[in-house]
Amino acid sequence: MSVPVTILCGELGAGKTTLLSGLLESTDREIAVLVNDVGAVNVDADLVEARTDLTTGEEVLALENGCICCSLGGELSRSVIQLWKEHDFDYLVVEASGVGEPEPIARQFVRGPAGGPYDLDAVVTVVDARRFHDRFAAGSSDERDGPPIPEPQGPDETGSRPLGDLLLEQVEFCDLLVVNKCDLVDEAERERVVALLETLQPRAEIVTTEYSALGPESVLDSERFDLEAAAQSAGWKQAIETDAGDHEEAGPDKLDPDAGGSDHEHDHSHGGDDHDQSHDEHERAESHDHSHADHDHAHPPEQYGIEVDTYHRRRPFHPQRLAAFLADLPDGLVRAKGLCWIAGREKQAITASYAGSETSLEVTGRWIASFSEARQEQYRRGQPDLSWDEEWGDRETRLAVIGRNIEMDALQARLDDCLLTDEEMDADWSTFENPAPTGIGETVTISHGGTES
């Protein structure tokens, strides 16, 4: 029988370890805990009974309640299979790194070798209510009660992804959102946080709590996880899907449920000579908790000034004007993500992703129109509904925008100002100064204020 798995995500300090420690103390289940992080195992020391090693020398802690906790190096699938072979337990909890993306971890338990001995039960993301409110829900600084919490700057520890973007991806790919530290926000702020989370992730159940106080029945054996639903459930993806369906000229833009980053394939393929890639990025709470389901969706986004919009154009951005715009984004913008067509990058389909205070531009594939005519025809036969311009093919910009108390018309007008003029359309685009990336997987980050990295 497969061992059920819960993946526990959330930024550093959100309360993951406190939730995990409480879980281990309050259940009689034999649980294995895998800490998918670079640092040492950080489960509370008073739970540790003895220290042992696997045959590979990787660290394992034996816990007083009969559970084990591991900090396993190497490839995750190999590590969890080894754990399953060498230890007896009936549940696995994976505590992901504070800057870890949950989707690649989840896929290893569904489509990878770990899908044999394991069955993914749920992905749970813990959110610090105070920090999330001040970073994403408060809008401009004059709406905050006190000084803003310092925003994490620059790329993550891998050197490639802005931290704010990773934090929102943890929200956007999960089944349960635990809004923790609610004692640090007032009721209005808590409701605002919940409303924004519902907009960013419409599918997930939301519970609010203090001190990570959740019973094991809220985290274990929920049977919440569905890979296809989770991969398509982010609010920005749903906005783009809806926009594509509402416009006759729009392409299918069907987001591939198997798309696991920048190295996936599906019918609408874009890639190098040897590698085709898509340009479409591609329950019972404690008595003091508040459940998203119990509220019967009592947080209409418009009540909190939250608005979702899309931006779709078939004319390229001027690279310098786009960079200047991204360095001076309006207050209240929470999330912007989607596909960009940038002049001077006629092959590269570039995904733009804004969160927190930074925008990443990443080459995630190639336009079909950049391939040979034979390959174009092959791809187009497989997608008869693909929107196609006779001159520019499938090149386009399609962004989803989520903001709070933001003038969407003014935002769209500023984006339009970044497009090439008629005169520039006839110019040599290679002469433009261009900070946009060029290689598959390459990322350029532009910070609010103008810093590029």
Each residue's pLDDT, cut to its tens digit, for the chain (453 residues) gives 799 999 999 988 899 888 988 888 888 888 888 875 544 444 444 443 433 344 444 444 444 444 444 444 446 777 788 888 888 889 998 887 665 678 888 888 888 888 889 999 999 999 999 999 998 887 544 444 443 433 444 444 444 556 777 888 899 999 999 999 999 999 999 999 999 999 999 989 999 999 999 988 888 998 888 888 888 878 887 887 787 766 544 333 333 323 333 333 333 333 333 344 444 333 323 333 444 444 444 455 667 788 999 999 999 999 999 999 999 999 889 999 999 999 999 999 999 999 878 999 999 999 999 999 999 999 999 988 888 999 999 999 999 999 988 999 999 999 999 999 999 999 999 999 999 999 988 999 998 765 566
Is 252 a member of any domain?
no
User: What pLDDT digit, counting tens, does each position of 285-305 carry?
Assistant: 333 344 444 444 445 566 778
Q: Are residues 29 and 172 in the same domain?
A: yes
Rounded mean pLDDT of the chain?
77
Domain CATH number, residue 303: 3.30.1220.10
Beta bridge partners, 277, equal: 270
Question: Residue 360 and residue 351: Cα distance in Å, rounded?
Answer: 8
State whether residue 179 is helix, strand or coil. strand
Is 245 a member of any domain?
no
Taking the CB of residue 389, how many other CB atoms lie within 10 A of it? Answer: 12
- Return the axis-axis angle of helices 163-172 and 102-110, rounded to nearest 10°: 40
Q: Are residues 332 and 425 in the same domain?
A: yes
Q: Are residues 226 and 299 in the same domain?
A: no
User: Which pLDDT score, from 0 to 100, does residue 157 have?
Assistant: 43
Q: Degrees (nearest 5) of the Cα angle 101, 177, 157?
A: 25
Q: Where are the alpha helices (DSSP H) in 304-349?
A: 319-326
Question: Residue 77 and residue 113: Cα distance in Å, rounded?
Answer: 6
Q: Are residues 104 and 228 in the same domain?
A: yes
Question: Residue 344 and residue 167: Cα distance in Å, rounded?
Answer: 31
> Which one of 186, 214, 232 terminates a domain?
232
Question: Residue 453 and residue 446: Cα distance in Å, rounded?
Answer: 7
Containing domain of residue 196, as a range? 3-232
Q: Are residues 60 and 146 in the same domain?
A: yes
User: Which pLDDT score, from 0 to 100, does residue 65 have?
Assistant: 44
Question: Residue 36 and residue 192: Cα distance in Å, rounded?
Answer: 31
Nearest partner of 2 among 100, 69, 91, judged by Cα: 91
Question: Residue 236 and residue 401: Cα distance in Å, rounded?
Answer: 7
Distance, CA of 337 to chain centre? 10
User: Which pLDDT score, from 0 to 100, does residue 184 have?
Assistant: 96
Is 219 a member of any domain?
yes
Q: Are residues 424 and 322 in the same domain?
A: yes
Q: Are residues 45 and 190 in the same domain?
A: yes
Question: Residue 386 and residue 48: Cα distance in Å, rounded?
Answer: 57
Q: How far apart are the first and last CA of the chain?
A: 48
Run of H or E including 188: helix 187-200
Q: Are residues 301 and 397 in the same domain?
A: yes
> Which one of 216, 232, 248 terminates a domain?
232
Q: Are residues 145 and 32 in the same domain?
A: yes
Number of domains in the chain: 2
Question: Residue 198 and residue 28: Cα distance in Å, rounded?
Answer: 33
Q: Are residues 78 and 199 in the same domain?
A: yes
Instruction: Dig out the tokens for 89 from the structure.
Output: 């337990």
Nearest partner of 129 among 174, 180, 194, judged by Cα: 180
Q: What are phi and psi of 143, to 5 degrees?
A: -90, -10
Is 261 a member of any domain?
no
Is 273 a member of any domain?
no
- Across the beta sheet with 91-96, what order do the strands follow? 48-53, 59-63, 68-71, 31-36, 91-96, 3-9, 118-128, 176-180, 205-208, 290-291
| Residue position matching structure tokens 């939301």 | 206
> Which one of 232, 254, 275 terminates a domain?
232
Domain CATH number, residue 13: 3.40.50.300
Is 265 a member of any domain?
no
Q: CA distances (Å), 93 to each of 123, 127, 222, 295, in order? A: 10, 18, 13, 28
User: What pLDDT digit, counting tens, does each position of 56-74 carry?
Assistant: 444 444 444 444 444 444 4
Residue 174 carries which DSSP code?
A: -
Is 337 a member of any domain?
yes
Question: Residue 318 and residue 315: Cα distance in Å, rounded?
Answer: 10
Cβ-Cβ contacts under 8 Å for 147 (sequence gap 6 or more): none
Q: Are residues 209 and 322 in the same domain?
A: no
Question: Residue 349 and residue 347: Cα distance in Å, rounded?
Answer: 7
Please count the helices (runs of H) and the strands (runs of E) in the chain: 12, 18
Residue 371 carries which DSSP code?
A: S
How long a stretch of residues is the chain? 453
Is-contact 308 199, C-beta < 8 A? yes
Q: What are phi and psi of 311, to 5 degrees?
A: -130, 120
Half-sphere exposure of residue 336: CA atoms within 13 angstroms, side-chain side: 30
Beta bridge partners, 366, equal: 348
Residue 11 carries which DSSP code?
A: -
Question: Residue 83 and residue 89: Cα distance in Å, rounded?
Answer: 10
Residue 414 CB burial class (10 angstroms; 0-12, 13-18, ≥19): middle
Question: Residue 77 and residue 443: Cα distance in Å, rounded?
Answer: 27
- Return the axis-axis angle of helices 163-172 and 187-200, rounded to nearest 10°: 80
Q: Are residues 160 and 64 in the same domain?
A: yes
Question: Residue 406 and residue 396: Cα distance in Å, rounded?
Answer: 24
Is 129 a member of any domain?
yes
